[in-house]
Amino acid sequence: MEKPLFVVLGLLLLAPARPEPVTGAVIGLLAVAGGGYFTWKSLSPRNECNEKGRLDIKALQADLENRVFGQHLAKGITLRGLSGFLRNKNPRKALAMSFHGSTGTGKNYISQIIAQHLYPDGMKSRYVHQFVATLHFPHIQHLDTYKDQLQQWIRRNVTDCKRSVFIFDEVDKMHPGLIDAIKPYLDYYEHIGGVDYRKAIFIFLSNTAGEVISKLALDFWKAGKVREDIKLSDVEHQLSLSAFNKKESGFWHSSLIDRNLIDFYVPFLPLENQHVRMCIKREIMDRGLLVDDELVSKVANDMTYYPKDEQGFSVKGCKVVSTKLGYYL
């Protein structure tokens, strides 16, 4: 019988620091999305801690260019922020990047690409940990328990591998105050309780400020300006203010923002019809099929766009491209 998150995680924390090999594989303790439960994962022997921060920047850049469309800011900030952090052999603090934007714009996708380039097993790696707010922290009455166990989970895994990656999805749906439980691990401490957290990577995914980013992109579009002229300085301050002041943001009055512990606020712009078409073509190629322009047009035209009259941006970005394509195939 399955046990809820706060029970199972408490039991896992009593386990040895390094799981023992079992029948040629290593059993890892990793939080995965699934109805508020933690489950076991079987891991391959090649999954080793990337202690030295090895990363092929050119390969990462090529992957982002070939798979993420219409996001010049997100791709540029991610590349520079991540490469700069990994080149530093003695960082002063853990890397914290906060991804903001509407659904379907690529926040999850880029975080998955980052994980894949740091660890061959990507999101399946024992050193990549994903938390989904509505699945892993669903009950507000267990908030204090979640805080305690989240701290222990991070401490345990960074002890196992300093270069651990923690991805928090749906931050805007997290209970206010929960995110502050990890504040000590993002601060400028050489170690806490004998553990050095300064090489860890934290990525936060949120829909917060999506309307602010969309308005900026829409204003540029209506003025006939090139979207690539949008700069981080045009929106960064508004992102932090929106996250801090909105109770539904997950960062409401958070010490992470108040203490300037978020290193990069990364805006994800709404996608135009041309970007949706690129997503469709990429999906077709990933399925091993030849690109059919008529099919691309059918799928693209079946998406919903806004504003209603101008049809400028996709309401759901590229989120439903795979489903729509499957329907027409």
* Residue 93 assigned as binding residue: no
* Residue 194 assigned as binding residue: no
Please state the φ and ψ torsions of residue 54, each to the nearest 5 degrees. Answer: -70, 130
**Cα 179 to Cα 139, 175, 205, 216, 229, distances in angstroms:** 15, 8, 12, 28, 33
Contact status, residue 267 vs residue 74, Cβ threshold 8 Å: yes
* Residue 102 assigned as binding residue: yes
* Residue 231 assigned as binding residue: no
* Residue 317 assigned as binding residue: no
Place of tokens 């386990």: 15
Alpha carbons 98 and 107: distance in angstroms, whole number: 10
* Residue 224 assigned as binding residue: no
* Residue 288 assigned as binding residue: no
Nearest to 37 by CA among 58, 15, 12, 17: 12
Please state the φ and ψ torsions of residue 26, each to the nearest 5 degrees. Answer: -110, 130
* Residue 103 assigned as binding residue: yes
Contact status, residue 282 vs residue 106, Cβ threshold 8 Å: no
Q: Which segments are annotated as binding site?
A: 101-108
Q: Which segments are annotated as binding site for ATP?
A: 101-108
